[in-house]
Amino acid sequence: MKKFNVLIAIAVLLLASLACQALAGGGDSDAVELPPPLDGMDENPAVPPADGSDDDESADDFEFSFGGESDFPLPDDSKNVMSVSGTVNYQTSLSLDEVMEFYRGVYGDMGYTERQLLTVVSEGVFSMVFDGDPSGQAVVIQGVDLGDGTMNVNLRLEDT
């Protein structure tokens, strides 16, 4: 009787497998070809002019800058500055405490208020939030010690 139950179980699994294969399009050797990556797109995508002029209205949808441009205050030794759609990321040789003191000084002088409750420091990582930006959004600053004498810092505006 056990052999009969095993044979029935194998037959049920085989039928279920065939049914799944049939529903998924079968096991045809004719693979469906995907369209080429540029299908329906211009083969020469628009590239912003090197002179910085903006010929394309859609370029405003996604902003990217690499090399030092930032709407946020940055320490003098900032390097690898990258700005993508309102978020700025950079590295500095300042320590975690020095970075936090830098932003407390800069934003304090500008009249911003630190949300002490949201300030967190833990094992080489920090996060702090300042209110007072003219946009009505909060300035969020986060950093992580990379372990080689460099801090990676990220700044952005977020809705409060």
Instruction: Report which DSSP code applies to 73.
Output: -
Q: Which two tokens stand for residue 119?
A: 């300030």
Q: For residues 144 and 136, is the Cβ–Cβ distance under 8 A?
A: no
* Continuous segment of H or E residues that includes residue 106: helix 96-109
CA-CA distance, 88 to 68, in Å (whole number)? 10
Q: What is the pLDDT along the chain (160 residues), one digit of tens a residue?
A: 666 666 676 766 666 666 656 555 555 555 566 666 654 555 555 555 555 555 544 444 544 445 556 789 999 999 999 988 889 999 999 999 999 999 999 999 999 999 999 999 999 999 999 999 999 999 999 999 999 999 999 999 999 7
**Side chain identity at residue 112, one-letter code:** Y
Record the pTM: 0.59
pLDDT at 62: 44
Q: Phi, psi at residue 137, to the nearest 5°?
A: -90, 165
pLDDT at 63: 47
Q: For residues 77 and 94, is the Cβ–Cβ distance under 8 A?
A: yes
Q: For residues 150 and 92, is the Cβ–Cβ distance under 8 A?
A: yes
Instruction: Report which DSSP code applies to 60.
Output: G
